Structure 1
């Protein structure tokens, strides 16, 4: 099994170097993005992204947010159970100090659902998801990092990976 994972990772990296983004990834503004079709808790999702020299996505502006909405819709429209996607934001170290964990930058652009983040009933809701409600509104929510959700990986200029194109 380990050999299979190694082969898959190397194959993805070879395709990445030759063509720009790994197969199945989308490109936007110098970065590559992957929207998972399986669920993991936040730490495991972060590790899964790391297998591709990527990190959980860090949304820096409305243009990037709109791009991610399109990618999620493209791959997951109609999948009723796919309504939460981990991003790379958290306040796990200092409550209320929301940061992108990969870059350790304070989160400046936000798209919180009204009333969020709320750390609902002090349940240690320390990780950011993009939540898609019944009306196809894409907003952020704080959730427990142990929940299993789909996730979005990003390979960007700061990841150490080579992005061509």
Structure 2
């Protein structure tokens, strides 16, 4: 699903995409996923200002090397955990329309 579809899937179940604000949680979430997966972080409202789905700002990030990069100006506004990057620094910005699974949390 796209990032928005993944978020709606979570919200339909009384949850939302996961928020990661600690290295401990980042390591835990990264250890669970088996493929690249959406998390609840994006800059869809204001380019360059990452916010969580609860509208709180990003204070600590776990970006993969060279990220976020808005690659080739493709409007990479949503964030995934990219398993090929290892743990804990494995976040990648990606086009929100790309297809991934999402991680929900209540």
TM-score with structure 1 setting the length: 0.61
Shift of 1:151: 1.1
1:107 aligns with 2:58: yes
Q: Partner residue of 1:97?
A: 49
Length, aligned pairs only: 104
CA contact (8 A) 2:37 2:81 kept: yes
- Looking at structure 1, the residues matched to 104 and 6 of structure 2 have their Cα atoms a distance apart, in angstroms, of 8
CA RMSD in angstroms comes to 1.1
Q: Partner residue of 1:68?
A: 29
- Looking at structure 2, the residues matched to 70 and 141 of structure 1 have their Cα atoms a distance apart, in angstroms, of 16
Q: Partner residue of 1:143?
A: 94
What's the CA shift string for 1:32-90, capped at 9, x where partnerless?
A: xxxxxxxx101100000012110000101001111112222xxx3xxxxx2x1000100
- Looking at structure 2, the residues matched to 113 and 69 of structure 1 have their Cα atoms a distance apart, in angstroms, of 13
CA contact (8 A) 2:4 2:96 kept: yes
After TM superposition, where is structure 1 displaced by more than 3 Å over at least 4 residues in a row? none
SS of residue matched to 2:72: helix
Q: Partner residue of 1:160?
A: none
In structure 1, which of residues 79, 82, 85 is the aligned counterpart of residue 37 of structure 2?
A: 85
SS of residue matched to 1:128: strand
Q: Within 5 Å, which residues of 2 pair with 1:4-153?
A: 40-72=1-33, 76=34, 82=35, 84-101=36-53, 103-133=54-84, 137-138=86-87, 139-153=90-104
TM-score with structure 2 setting the length: 0.92
5+ residue gaps, structure 2, are none
